Amino acid sequence: MTTSKHIETQAIHSGRINDEQFGSLATPLYQTSTFIFDNAEQGAQRFAGESEGYIYTRLGNPTTRQLEMRMAALEEMEDAAATATGMAAVSGALLANLQAGDHVISSNAVYGCSFALMSHMLTKFGIEVSFVDMTDPSKIEKEIRDNTKLIFLESPINPNLVVLDLEEILNIAKKYQLISVVDNTFLTPVLQKPALLGADIIIHSATKYLNGHGDVVAGIICGSKDMIEHIKLTALKDIGATMSPHDAWLILRGLKTLPIRIERHCENARTIAQYLDSHPAVDKVYYPGLKSHPGFKFIGKQMKAAGGVIAFELKTDLAGGAAFINRMRLFSIAVSLGDAESLIQHPASMTHSPYSEEERRSAGISDSLIRISVGLENVNDIIADLQQSLDTIV
């Protein structure tokens, strides 16, 4: 295992399990549902936790374990749990740590399904949730109650790219002994490491940048050894939201190029954001890499760069926005982000449709907002596609 602290090296070598039998360079894919015991006594010992070894892939798998170890190293956490989807990471982190009567504080804008889980599902089981504008951290303290257990947030926020002051918010969590959960999907550990600012749990939709090739749905939870063991032995084991070894193998392959992919995503996005900001058909651009964005002050402080996602509003109505999207040729109309291909979608009617109109307005998600995930294509080709559609609006 590498001892390097350079993320480019860690992304290739951290958590590596050597194939002592055959010497395979690539990570072996253990595509098996169950594992053979030498005898009945060994099986009993493994179930009792008295001896090491694998039992059943829902409980652990060598390929999946290598991914967990690599992600723990990248996020500078002690351990990690691989989950079946990004939402399994969200629900696993929450359900393992909450019970009826508890109270959660969440940022008022989050991914649509994270919002639905907290506002619709958790409340069915007697868990209270308050959605707060965390751009003013003092509002968080005003919402803390005797039964508050956990703080959940994204930064930058999906879909409007609001950047939150992680250090200040996580200090509040520590002050009141609350569990902090940070969704780091948009920036990945290449650009932001919430653990260094005090986060207890870091989650990812590994579907996105970590895999990077649009052929997996998966999630990751990073935390302390005790926390990850607790999550694995409760929510993940009993609900069954664990990752398949084949998906883990694909993500391990994707991670090898994560740092260089992120570099290109950021370069392309910065150039495109500047282009959009200057186009007469664009009303407003939301991208922390622009000096006009309130989140720009955090670059170099809590995040290395602004990432590869841009949101913007057009000088047109809802129908005009739909027509703009439909005219795209290079962009694929699709939800998700972090793929090699550039993607475009309409949050209000797609990823954030679980919000009511009033809830979207409160979260700063307008009906005219468009979100793009900037891909790895030549930046001039991406701009040309945006231009041919934007020019019809002017």
* Whether the Cβ atoms of residue 153 and residue 182 lie closer than 8 Å to each other: yes
Environment class of residue 94 by beta-carbon count within 10 Å: exposed (0-12), middle (13-18) or buried (19+)? buried
* Whether 273 and 150 share a structural domain: no
Question: What's the CA gap between 171 and 180, in Å, rounded?
Answer: 10
At residue 382, the 3 state secondary structure works out as helix
Query: Residue 24: inside a domain, yes or no?
Result: yes
* Whether the Cβ atoms of residue 356 and residue 345 lie closer than 8 Å to each other: no
* Whether 250 and 266 share a structural domain: no
Q: Dihedral of CA 252/254/260/265: which sign? A: negative
What secondary structure, in 3-state letters, does 279-333 show? Answer: CCCEEEEECCCCCCCHHHHHECCCECCCCCEEEEEECCCHHHHHHHHHCCCCCEE
* Whether 250 and 286 share a structural domain: no
* Whether the Cβ atoms of residue 153 and residue 183 lie closer than 8 Å to each other: yes
Verify whether residue 286 is a known catalytic residue: no
Of the residues 54, 111, 209, 355, only one is catalytic, namely 111
* pLDDT tops 60 at residue 1: no
Tell me the mean pLDDT in the region 97-109.
96
Of the residues 70, 149, 208, 232, only one is catalytic, namely 208
Query: Residue 63: inside a domain, yes or no?
Result: yes
pLDDT tens digits, one per residue of 361-394: 776 777 778 999 999 999 999 999 999 999 998 7
What does pTM read for this prediction?
0.94
Verify whether residue 56 is a known catalytic residue: no
pLDDT score recorded for residue 369: 85
* Whether the Cβ atoms of residue 153 and residue 169 lie closer than 8 Å to each other: yes
Residue 156 Cα distances to 286, 306, 315, angstroms: 11, 8, 24
pLDDT score recorded for residue 317: 81
Q: Among 113-127, 175-189, 350-364, name the one with the lowest average pLDDT.
A: 350-364
* Whether the Cβ atoms of residue 250 and residue 213 lie closer than 8 Å to each other: yes
Question: What's the CA gap between 166 and 38, in Å, rounded?
Answer: 49
* Whether the Cβ atoms of residue 90 and residue 223 lie closer than 8 Å to each other: no
pLDDT score recorded for residue 102: 98
pLDDT tens digits, one per residue of 193-230: 999 999 999 999 999 999 999 999 999 999 999 999 99
Query: Residue 1: inside a domain, yes or no?
Result: no
* Whether 330 and 382 share a structural domain: yes
Kindly report the CATH number assigned to the domain that includes residue 335. Answer: 3.90.1150.10
Nearest Cα to 46, choosing from 32, 30, 33, 60?
Answer: 60
pLDDT score recorded for residue 15: 84
* Whether 273 and 178 share a structural domain: no
* Whether the Cβ atoms of residue 198 and residue 170 lie closer than 8 Å to each other: yes
pLDDT score recorded for residue 21: 81
pLDDT tens digits, one per residue of 287-310: 999 999 999 999 999 999 999 999
The count of structural domains within the chain is 2
Query: Residue 270: inside a domain, yes or no?
Result: yes
Verify whether residue 111 is a known catalytic residue: yes
DSSP conformation letters of 111-134? -HHHHHIIIIIGGGGT-EEEEE-T
pLDDT score recorded for residue 19: 79
Of the residues 16, 58, 139, 256, only one is catalytic, namely 58
pLDDT tens digits, one per residue of 37-59: 999 999 999 999 899 999 999 99
* Whether 37 and 101 share a structural domain: yes
Alpha-carbon torsion, ordered 264, 298, 337, 169, to 10 deg: 150
Domain's final residue, options 229, 255, 281? 255
* Whether the Cβ atoms of residue 183 and residue 151 lie closer than 8 Å to each other: no
Q: Contacts from 33-39 at CB under 8 Å and sequence distance 24+? A: 33/57
What H or E segment, with its residue span, contains residue 379? helix 379-390
* Whether 283 and 211 share a structural domain: no
* Whether the Cβ atoms of residue 373 and residue 309 lie closer than 8 Å to each other: yes
* Whether 177 and 284 share a structural domain: no
* Whether 305 and 375 share a structural domain: yes
Query: Residue 2: inside a domain, yes or no?
Result: no
Of the residues 79, 165, 183, 339, only one is catalytic, namely 183
pLDDT score recorded for residue 290: 97
Verify whether residue 58 is a known catalytic residue: yes
Question: What's the CA gap between 76 and 85, in Å, rounded?
Answer: 22
* Whether the Cβ atoms of residue 136 and residue 180 lie closer than 8 Å to each other: no
* pLDDT tops 60 at residue 27: yes
* Whether the Cβ atoms of residue 110 and residue 129 lie closer than 8 Å to each other: no
Domain's final residue, options 235, 255, 275? 255
* Whether 381 and 308 share a structural domain: yes
Query: Which has more pLDDT, 166 or 318?
Result: 166
| Predicted confidence band of residue 245 (pLDDT cuts 50, 70, 90) | very high
* Whether 72 and 157 share a structural domain: yes
Q: For 34, which DSSP code?
A: B
Kindly report the CATH number assigned to the domain that includes residue 206. Answer: 3.40.640.10
* Whether 182 and 232 share a structural domain: yes
Domain's final residue, options 231, 255, 279? 255
**What domain range includes position 384?**
258-390
Sheet holding 332-333, edge to edge: 282-286, 309-314, 369-373, 343-345, 332-333
Tell me the mean pLDDT in the region 231-238.
94
Question: What's the CA gap between 284 and 316, in Å, rounded?
Answer: 12
- Chain centroid to Cα 104, Å, comes to 19
pLDDT score recorded for residue 191: 98
pLDDT score recorded for residue 280: 95
pLDDT score recorded for residue 187: 98
Question: What's the CA gap between 297 and 290, in Å, rounded?
Answer: 10
pLDDT score recorded for residue 321: 83
pLDDT score recorded for residue 368: 77
Question: What's the CA gap between 309 and 186, in Å, rounded?
Answer: 8
